[in-house]
Structure 1
């Protein structure tokens, strides 16, 4: 499988080959983007939790979380790498996202990360979702997928977020005539608790047999969803970023002339 690249802002254009898989991930703060990307790296390598336990855990993005040891009731801080202050951004910076997207020749997919049971989306996320889709070429909508994290809490089914997303899609269609698909083919439900389990387990926290069985099932389901996601992404036509650049340039000219 071709390498999955983590986006890093660059001072010059990145000439990616067509075999590279370039994925833009967008989601609210707290939805679990870093955990998903770290789990993503492990889904590529391990099919079962037992394999992952016996091997080295894959970590792409430093992160941290707290957990209570059920035996000692002590709250422990689990560090996965060392997070920097730069990673604690409270809002989505649309301009920054568009700036580094423009440094790549193509996108394979745009992944919208959400929790399955949220009754509302933040104003910032709604704004940025609309801004990015209206700044990219209209063909980008065909490469859009919806990824739901924390799926175990809703039995790996969509919850309250479904009508919220349908309303947002309807607004885009009414305002910008952008028709976005939202169906089983482009929606994926994960639970990345297995990655947090691995990080915790490898830090010496003990778990019951029942807990390990639950996390094992979680990993199995997520690996299957990951396979389905990648198969879908590889079928997409590459979204040429130069098309988006042309649209942005035209929009800037229109603004200057008004």
Structure 2
């Protein structure tokens, strides 16, 4: 049986805990009528106030009454509910409600430290109000979450809008506000690119479950509330089924090892001076390498020209050898000629002398060309080796920063710049590192 781990985050009073109770009952009973005739399952104790049919405020509460098929694990800051649904198990990790107007970084840190035993999450579920989205608070909630997670986790973010009945399950304004928040986060932290689409946004309503509890406690509701309860139940069940289908297709992401985030951030800051020196040095080497690449191309072209010249001289050498052979053949003829009858006799000395001179010159030229080619190859090899070492340096830095980039905005910026190896990008990184040192 596959277990899907879902972390539930949200401000105080947004309805995370009630959602857990609601979801269990939505999947257990197809409609409110069946639920009323059966036992209302309460995984987490619930207490609330409701307006009854006589328009009076009534306080209701129910203790947990879960049976043996549900497991609950309580930690200092979190409570886990293992819920069997449709052949799977949902591990719903409930967290305390946050007051994002206060400084609660340590609370976030403690929560994520307690998730270490899980090693991975399938989704982080942010609970938001459908009709009252506080832009600053929700933005802070997402940022504090990202401070404890790998940036790749954004692919597994899910946004659940509660109080869906108030907006007839179409939280248009809240979705628009959420897009503004995501855009603002991306503008300040480009590496945090949170996707928003129909598959990771859901609208539910816990009121149907609350009304179920009211029925079980003997509290009568107004006809209007009773009518809305059936609509709310069906709509919320539909959204929960869609949520489960989406979660089952998500690839889980790894949770950071305890202390790894702080260690890497500290490492990056402590090593920023050394990184700055290396990057500046390699930036200069990059310019040299670019010139060397161009020079090596020119040398290669020259070498090719030399090869053609050698082939030409070798052809001349073969032609000279042909002349020598022809002269050897002519010696027999010369031996039978009476040179005394010629005023200016042609001797074999004249022919051999010209051939030997030509061959000697050709040998000298060939030797010089071969020596030059050997030296040229050495130069090219040296240049290629320097290029290789420089690129290895960049690869080493990029590998280190690749590990850091998921936990520190600066690391992401540097890794991106180095991977492009563009001079203007590297210059920008140098300025960033200098600013870090000054900070």
TM range (shorter): 0.7 to 0.9
Counterpart residue number, 2:122: 108
Distance 1:58 1:194 in 2: 13
Distance 1:94 1:202 in 2: 37
Preserved contact between residue 137 and residue 243 of structure 1 (Cα < 8 Å) = no
Give the structure-1-normalised TM-score: 0.81
Preserved contact between residue 193 and residue 215 of structure 1 (Cα < 8 Å) = yes
1:192 aligns with 2:206: yes
Counterpart residue number, 2:225: 211
Per-residue CA deviations over 1:140-169 (Å, capped at 9, x if unaligned) read 111111100111111111133223211221
Per-residue CA deviations over 1:9-28 (Å, capped at 9, x if unaligned) read xxxxxxxxxx2221111111
Distance 1:230 1:164 in 2: 25
1:76 aligns with 2:45: no
Counterpart residue number, 2:303: none
Q: SS of the counterpart of 2:113?
A: helix
Distance 2:56 2:253 in 1: 49
Distance 2:237 2:96 in 1: 28
Give the structure-2-normalised TM-score: 0.50
Residues 122 and 202 of structure 1, relative CA distance in 2, 3 Å threshold:
farther
Which one is further off, 169-178 or 150-159? 169-178
Counterpart residue number, 1:67: 50
Preserved contact between residue 50 and residue 60 of structure 2 (Cα < 8 Å) = yes
Preserved contact between residue 21 and residue 107 of structure 1 (Cα < 8 Å) = yes
Residues 256 and 40 of structure 1, relative CA distance in 2, 3 Å threshold:
farther
Preserved contact between residue 10 and residue 141 of structure 2 (Cα < 8 Å) = no
Residues 172 and 206 of structure 1, relative CA distance in 2, 3 Å threshold:
same
Residues 208 and 76 of structure 1, relative CA distance in 2, 3 Å threshold:
closer
Distance 2:97 2:8 in 1: 15
Distance 2:96 2:62 in 1: 15
Counterpart residue number, 1:8: none
Which one is further off, 144-153 or 29-38? 29-38
Tell me how far 1:68 sits from its aligned partner. Answer: 3.1
Q: Which has the larger radius of gyration?
A: 2
Q: Which runs of 5+ in 1 are unaligned?
A: 3-18
Distance 1:148 1:185 in 2: 13
Which one is further off, 220-229 or 152-161? 152-161
Q: CA RMSD in A?
A: 2.5
Counterpart residue number, 1:94: 108
Residues 60 and 21 of structure 1, relative CA distance in 2, 3 Å threshold:
same
Tell me how far 1:74 sits from its aligned partner. Answer: 4.2
Tell me how far 1:243 sits from its aligned partner. Answer: 6.8
Counterpart residue number, 1:50: 33
Counterpart residue number, 1:147: 160
Residues 143 and 90 of structure 1, relative CA distance in 2, 3 Å threshold:
closer
Residues 65 and 255 of structure 1, relative CA distance in 2, 3 Å threshold:
farther
Residues 88 and 104 of structure 1, relative CA distance in 2, 3 Å threshold:
closer
Distance 1:200 1:155 in 2: 22
Q: Of 128, 135, 140, which residue of structure 1 is paired with 2:148?
A: 135
Per-residue CA deviations over 1:79-121 (Å, capped at 9, x if unaligned) read 1228xxx998663631222222333211011111101122524
Greater fraction of residues in helix: 2
Which one is further off, 92-101 or 151-160? 92-101
Q: Of 207, 219, 233, which residue of structure 1 is paired with 2:247?
A: 233
Work out the number of aligned pairs and report it.
236
